[in-house]
Structure 1
Amino acid sequence: MITRRGFFKLVGGGIAGVMSLGGYAFAYEPLARLGIARYRLTPPGWTPRLKLRVVALADIHACEPWMSANRITAICHRANELEGDVTVLLGDYASGMNMVTQYVHSSQWSKALATLQAPLGVHAIMGNHDWWEDRTAQKNGGMETFGHRALADVGIPVYGNRAVRLEKDGRGFWFAGLEDQLALLPGRKWGRTRMLGLDDLDGTMAQVTDDAPVILLAHEPDIFPRVPERVSLTLSGHTHGGQIRFLGRSPIVPSRYGNRYAYGHIVEEGRNIIVSGGLGCSIAPVRFGVPPEIVVIDLG
């Protein structure tokens, strides 16, 4: 039988454990940890003898104190050390929460991202928060966001339903980048009754003019069931791995498919997608079991 002293010791230990866990989830994992998620694969349709290292950064969500311009710069330096042939940015540079001490202006986070270097360049797409945080873009119902302009100003090309052919060692491959699938919010002030995407998968793929392999950049992984076999690999972010993850599953995932595309390398019917756990936080500054990460993919 437990004594009164033993009971309070047990309760005290439980409270201390909860506080420690909370401190880890709110402070250490979002701010102090940075993982490197590595994948190696030769997907269907990949050109023989084409060796390509892709470094991917997703879901930065620039804001103080969680993702300052200085921290973004440090992450970019670490990404450069990974010696990718090409670097991709998978969207959501703008903050996605109100629990901040200060917002980081697009001119600051884009300047930090401009420190990224790769022989075949740095290539970007937009995410839903980049659209949602831009009232002018919402009012216009499209065109471009302040994120598009900020990245263009520092020389980083943004792919909005666009495909571009690159080469390494004389062997070609394509980057095809989609505009965001959740770009336009519903609301009376916008004159929209439902959320609208600006992605055009068919139109983007129509720009691919030869048999070289295609890497598709799509912020939300929910597009994956529609991706044709012609695409060798899809790269996505958006989910943050659920931001809280236990035993390979997350209680909440911002996807209509739940945990199906929450995180990692998924193969369906011979098609491949890699979903990054991302770097920043959305809604609340909490991460547990899915620390911020840079993704490195070795193809071929």
Structure 2
Amino acid sequence: MTSLGAYAFGIEPAYRLRIQRYAPVLPRWPEDLALTIAVIADPHVGEPYMSVRRLEEIVAVTNNLRPDLILLLGDYAAGHHFVTRPVSMRECAGAFRALKSPLGTFAILGNHDWWDDRSAQRSRRGPVIARTELEAAGIPVLENDAVRLVKDGRPFWLLGLGDQLALLGKPIRGVDDLRGTLAKLTDDAPAILMAHEPDIFPLVPRRIALTLSGHTHGGQVRFFGYSPLVPSSYGNRYAYGHIEEHGRHLIVSGGLGTSIMPVRFGVPPEIVHLSLGTASPAAGA
């Protein structure tokens, strides 16, 4: 048991990194629109587990995947108190500045990015520090917003939802506006939605080809596809991986960092590599 504990606290969260590949067949994504996406979620920066150097290594691995598009799914701020040296959001955004892809890098915010900004909590509004620093590094942050991108002459939409757990209190309140975000779609081009917490998924309409989320860390501890504790109202339903419900598709990244406790077991830190359209290889390749 001692060795398992040492692995869960000291090795898996701090040293392991895998590329998790998906190639879903999406009913609302054109087969001839080939697109590759690298997804980075939940780094929770702070030493000793997520130093600037480790973040730079993750950036280098991501660039080596040569994706068409890079997406950041939020929770850049540390999510636990086991931090030996804080890493500022400016340092984090500076590392992300080196991300390279033809269609660029786009970001959303997570609950810890809001919770970590005391001024935003007092005023009950943003922009939070994470957004300011990411945008200063040249990375657009989508909060209830949409951008129309073009790959090989074919358009598609990228949407980013505001965080659903942004404002602390009783109850916790979100700054998400799904209806307003969807209203920004002005044509029938296929659409991808970034939403930090996957709990929004039951409300996402079939108009959206794919929803991408983080937040859960796959439960951080996972045995045979089951996580004892998942920060979601739906438990293991949206804990991790590719979920299909009623013809709608969701992919939940296991993320990179940790929250509450700096432990991972059975769900190592990961970068998601997503292939859509005719360029899609077999999933897991």
TM-score, normalised to structure 1, is 0.92
State the distance in 1 between where 2:81 and 2:24 align.
39
State the distance in 2 between where 1:48 and 1:276 align.
24
2:238 is matched with which residue?
Answer: 261
1:89 is matched with which residue?
Answer: 72
2:145 is matched with which residue?
Answer: 162
State the distance in 1 between where 2:14 and 2:24 align.
30
Q: Deviations over 1:199-231 (max 9, x none)?
A: 000000000011110100000000000000000
Runs ≥4 residues deviating over 4 A? none
The answer to whether the Cα contact below 8 Å between 1:47 and 1:212 also exists between their aligned partners in 2 is no
Cα offset, 1:233, TM superposition: 0.1
- SS state of the match for residue 234, structure 1? strand
State the distance in 2 between where 1:261 and 1:194 align.
22
- SS state of the match for residue 23, structure 1? helix
1:23 is matched with which residue?
Answer: 6
Cα offset, 1:194, TM superposition: 1.5
State the distance in 2 between where 1:259 and 1:103 align.
31
Asked whether 1:296 is paired with 2:273, we answer yes
- SS state of the match for residue 175, structure 1? strand
- Structure 2 alignment gaps of length 5 or more: 278-285
RMSD: 0.6
State the distance in 2 between where 1:55 and 1:206 align.
26
- Structure 1 alignment gaps of length 5 or more: 1-17, 187-192
1:78 is matched with which residue?
Answer: 61
State the distance in 2 between where 1:211 and 1:48 align.
16
Aligned residues: 277
Asked whether 1:237 is paired with 2:237, we answer no
State the distance in 2 between where 1:67 and 1:131 align.
19
1:112 is matched with which residue?
Answer: 95
Asked whether 1:180 is paired with 2:140, we answer no
2:135 is matched with which residue?
Answer: 152
Q: Deviations over 1:116-149 (max 9, x none)?
A: 1110000000000000010000111112100000
The aligned amino acid for 1:179 is G
State the distance in 2 between where 1:73 and 1:212 align.
34
The answer to whether the Cα contact below 8 Å between 1:165 and 1:174 also exists between their aligned partners in 2 is yes
Cα offset, 1:244, TM superposition: 0.1
Which of 186, 203, 211 aligns to 1:226? It is 203
Report the identity percentage.
57
State the distance in 1 between where 2:227 and 2:192 align.
27
Asked whether 1:46 is paired with 2:16, we answer no
